[in-house]
Amino acid sequence: MLIQDILRRKRDAEALDADAIHTFMRGVADGSVGDAQIGAFAMAVVLNGMNRDEAIALTEATRDSGQVLRWHDLHLDGPVLDKHSTGGVGDLVSLVLGPWIAACGGHVPMISGRGLGHTGGTLDKLEAIPGYDVTPDDARFRRLVKDVGVAIIGQTGTLAPADKRLYGVRDVTATVESLPLIVASILGKKLACGLDTLVMDVKVGNGAFMPTAEASRELAEAIVAIGSSAGTPTSVLLTDMNQPLADCAGNALEVHEALRLLRGEGRDSRLYRVTHALATEMLVQAGLATDADDAAIRLETALASGEALERFARMVHGLGGPSDLAERPAHYLAPAPCTTEVVAPRAGTVNAIDTRALGLGVVELGGGRRNAGDAIDPRVGLSHITPLGERVEAGQPLLRLHAASQTDADAVSRRLREAFTLGEPDPAVPTSLIHATLR
């Protein structure tokens, strides 16, 4: 089958059969399809879309373009499951959820990403821990997934290699914004991990990847349908990203927050509630709990006994980090040299937060990358972020800024102050945290 012919058919808005899609993606993975052809394909899909069968085939072809992990030879004593998020600000759910699920009997081979744009990345957070290796060899990764129940590591070159090339071309050809391409990219990578079940956290709001609530919902519906059709039961929680999920954002600060939750503190936080809801969905979906009440009991036991914290500590040590991080976090997670407060210019209720601006503020402080390959300063970020709906008086802090220097702090503080809209109490302010669950 000629690649040009596949491109011509998609250009003319014909539906491609699974064979054509697999042929094209095999060529993307082995290099026989050129960048120009990848760009033409992506543009044709953006302009003409794909029907459901094509989107399923594209997801399966992405998954099958490289190694697909298999776990049966390890004789695991529980299901293999994972969670993936479309990304946000102060979203450190993975750091808490992975060990928590492991403590409840699951096995979580979590392949995570780095920060992208204004959103933080799980790998960048874990690399705030001295010695933590996000690229262990295969044997070590598998041993941790078996023995500890969780390993959070980076993308390997062998998993879904077609996505790496396709995404690279989409990034520079204005073809990221296409539902079938996004779904195949996200799910192809996840399903290559050999999961029994998957729960996705699709964010909704001004800090979310998708631009509108309708687009987030559409993505969520497509993920549920396509993931399940590709053989992995998949559900989605639509959760709010109209403000940072935790009250902090920044790599070392978020590791501190993860440890706090794993110690059983902060149960009234939005971060805890979203993590608990995702964990409940995962446990029930994978058959580790009979229903939400049973899941709540298991999760409480795992937290109160210290088992979830213990799993986190074992994972960190197993991947090269210190053995006593949980006992002495301040010893390993250095604070930023300069802390200062961004204060309210006048009294009012926080009616809106420009979440994207806060995320970009962390990037500007050095906590994220402007260009691929930039070094990250794990110490910097924001904490004590005032949530939506809270009243502040003039001169009261809106957040605390952690910077490498006073000059860096001064450079961002005005924009961070302007990220908060203060006014009269407004009942229309979005307060809902979990918008919907789709199965």
Binding site for ligand URA (CB under 6 A): 167, 176, 181-182, 185-186
Closer to ligand URA by Cβ: residue 192 or 255: 192
What is the amino acid identity at position 32?
S
Which is the catalytic residue, given 84, 217, 298, 402? 84
Which among 53, 157, 169, 131 has a CA at the least distance from the CA of 321? Answer: 131
Which is the catalytic residue, given 189, 298, 314, 435? 189
**Tokens 């009269």 sit on residue:** 424
Q: Is 189 a catalytic site residue?
A: yes
Which among 414, 388, 392 has a CA at the least distance from the CA of 401? Answer: 414
Q: Is 83 a catalytic site residue?
A: yes
Closer to ligand URA by Cβ: residue 171 or 327: 171
Q: Is 432 a catalytic site residue?
A: no
Which is the catalytic residue, given 10, 23, 62, 82? 82
Closest approach of Cβ 285 to ligand URA, in Å?
A: 22
Closer to ligand URA by Cβ: residue 22 or 203: 203
Closest approach of Cβ 182 to ligand URA, in Å?
A: 4
Q: Is 122 a catalytic site residue?
A: yes
Helix (H, G, I), strand (E, B) or coil at 193: coil
Q: Is 170 a catalytic site residue?
A: yes
Q: 330: exposed, middle or buried (C-beta count within 10 Å: 0-12, 13-18, 19+)?
A: exposed
Closer to ligand URA by Cβ: residue 160 or 253: 160
Helix (H, G, I), strand (E, B) or coil at 260: helix
Beta strands in 92-154 (DSSP E): 108-112, 150-154
Closer to ligand URA by Cβ: residue 241 or 392: 241
Closest approach of Cβ 155 to ligand URA, in Å?
A: 9
142/127 Cα distance (integer angstroms): 20
Q: Is 229 a catalytic site residue?
A: no
25/109 Cα distance (integer angstroms): 25
Cα–Cα separations (whole angstroms), residue 266 to 3, 113, 257, 406: 55, 26, 9, 30
Which is the catalytic residue, given 59, 62, 65, 85? 85
Structure tokens at 246: 């935790």
81/8 Cα distance (integer angstroms): 39
Closest approach of Cβ 177 to ligand URA, in Å?
A: 9
What lies within 8 Å, CB to CB, of 73 at 6+ separation is none
DSSP string of 379-393, one letter each residue: T-EEESPPPTT-EE-
Q: Is 216 a catalytic site residue?
A: no
Which is the catalytic residue, given 10, 22, 63, 83? 83
Q: Is 10 a catalytic site residue?
A: no
Closest approach of Cβ 68 to ligand URA, in Å?
A: 17
Which is the catalytic residue, given 63, 114, 170, 203? 170
Determine which helix (DSSP H) or strand (DSSP E) holds 175, and give its type and residue range. none
Closest approach of Cβ 8 to ligand URA, in Å?
A: 24
Count Cβ neighbours within 10 Å for each residue of 102-135 and write b for 16 or more, e otherwise: bbbbbbbbbbbbbbeebbbbbbbbbbbbeebebe
What is the side-by-side order of every strand in the sheet holding 391-392? 391-392, 348-353, 420-423
Q: What is the number of the residue whose Cβ is closest to ligand URA? A: 185
Number of C-alpha atoms within 13 angstroms, CB side, residue 358?
39
246/93 Cα distance (integer angstroms): 9
Closer to ligand URA by Cβ: residue 45 or 357: 45
Closer to ligand URA by Cβ: residue 245 or 248: 245
**Tokens 């053989």 sit on residue:** 231
Structure tokens at 163: 């996505």
Closest approach of Cβ 158 to ligand URA, in Å?
A: 17
Q: Is 290 a catalytic site residue?
A: no
Which is the catalytic residue, given 65, 94, 185, 232? 185
Closest approach of Cβ 382 to ligand URA, in Å?
A: 24
Closer to ligand URA by Cβ: residue 185 or 355: 185
By annotation, the residues acting in catalysis are: 82-85, 122, 170, 185, 189-190
